[in-house]
Amino acid sequence: MREALVSDITKTIGRKRLYHFTRVSNLPAIAERDGLLSSYEAYPHHPGIRRTSPFTVMLDGKPATLNAHLPIPDSMMEEGTTLAAFRAYLDRHVFLWPTAEACKKMLDMYSRREKGEKFAILELDAYPLLADHYDAVKLSKYDSGSSPRYPHHCKYRKSTNMFVPIDQFKAFRSGPVPVNVSEIKEILIERQIRGLSSYLQAVYTEQAEDVPSRWRKLAKPLTGFAARRQ
């Protein structure tokens, strides 16, 4: 069952990789730990309180910057779900994009929002990562942390019901969760991703010297990623 679900999710050519968007300044902390932590694991204080700007913490003596929470209007929330509870839920997960196109959209957005900041993209082998973290994997049909421009026109409302554990994928025929692979827009891993080096295929940055030495051979230009068609 596990193998069949993971194979189904990763069998198409455009979904054999997963992508994690981060800041170049976070790479030393990520490399030191050889893993990715959720925001809560990195800073388990004030859960649910909105970060209005990027916030830097120290991990193993190295800085790690947590992104700001985008503003989400109350009108986007499902009845019975508070913004604080939703933010606290999101912060307990590591976020991955299942397609390069989705990750490029995030790169474009942050490049416009934070001019002068240096960003990086980690390209990961999808099948073994999902198989190894199977019990922690959740799937979403939407960009859960986004701030819709026209909330009243959205056909869904945000809540923890947006996320389906991978072992329940395809158990639903409709609703706010993905019912087929093409609808998976976001993949969440609860708490952390361990043993990152075993999945890492490439590290995209503007300058190769920004990539930690243990991964320098995997360095690729960020401009090349931005130009990819798939």
CA pair distance 160, 102, nearest whole angstrom? 21
Instruction: Average the pLDDT over 85-93 and give the result.
Output: 98
Q: Taking the CB of residue 38, how many other CB atoms lie within 10 A of it?
A: 21
- Whether the per-residue pLDDT at 92 is higher than 90: the answer is yes
**Length of the chain measured in residues:** 230
Coil/strand/helix, residue 48: coil
Residues 87-109, mean pLDDT to the nearest whole number: 97
Q: Which residues contact 47 (CB under 8 A, 6 or more apart)?
A: 40, 87, 88, 91
31 sits in which H/E element: helix 27-33
Sign of CA dihedral 108, 113, 114, 120: negative
What pLDDT does 230 receive? 59
Contact 195, 189 (CB under 8 A): no
229 pLDDT higher than 70: no
Q: What are the distances in angstroms from CA 84 to CA 45, 51, 165, 188, 192?
A: 13, 11, 22, 19, 21
Q: How confident is the model at residue 172 (pLDDT cuts 50, 70, 90)?
A: confident
Cβ contacts of 4 within 8 Å, gap of 6 or more: none
Mean pLDDT of all residues in 118-132: 99
**pLDDT by residue (tens digit) across 179-216?**
999 999 999 999 999 999 999 999 999 999 999 999 99
How does DSSP classify residue 54? -
Q: What is the pLDDT of residue 147?
A: 81
Domain ranges of the chain: 1-224
DSSP secondary structure of 124-186: EEHHHHHHHTGGGEEEESS-TT---SSGGG-S--BSGGGEEEGGGTTS-SSSSS-SSGGG--E
Residue 209's pLDDT is: 98
- pLDDT value of position 122: 99
The sign of the dihedral angle between the CA atoms of 69, 74, 79, 85 is positive
Distance separating alpha carbons of residues 141 and 35, to the nearest angstrom: 25
Per-residue pLDDT reduced to its tens digit, 10-30: 999 999 999 999 999 999 999
pTM of the model: 0.96
Name the strands in the sheet holding 163-165, side by side, starting at the edge strand that comes first in the sequence.
Answer: 93-96, 186-190, 137-140, 163-165
Kindly state the average pLDDT of the residues 114-120: 96
What pLDDT is stored for residue 227 in this prediction? Answer: 80
- Euclidean distance between CA atoms 28 and 166, whole angstroms: 31
Residue pair 180/15 in contact by the 8 Å Cβ criterion: no
pLDDT, position 150: 85
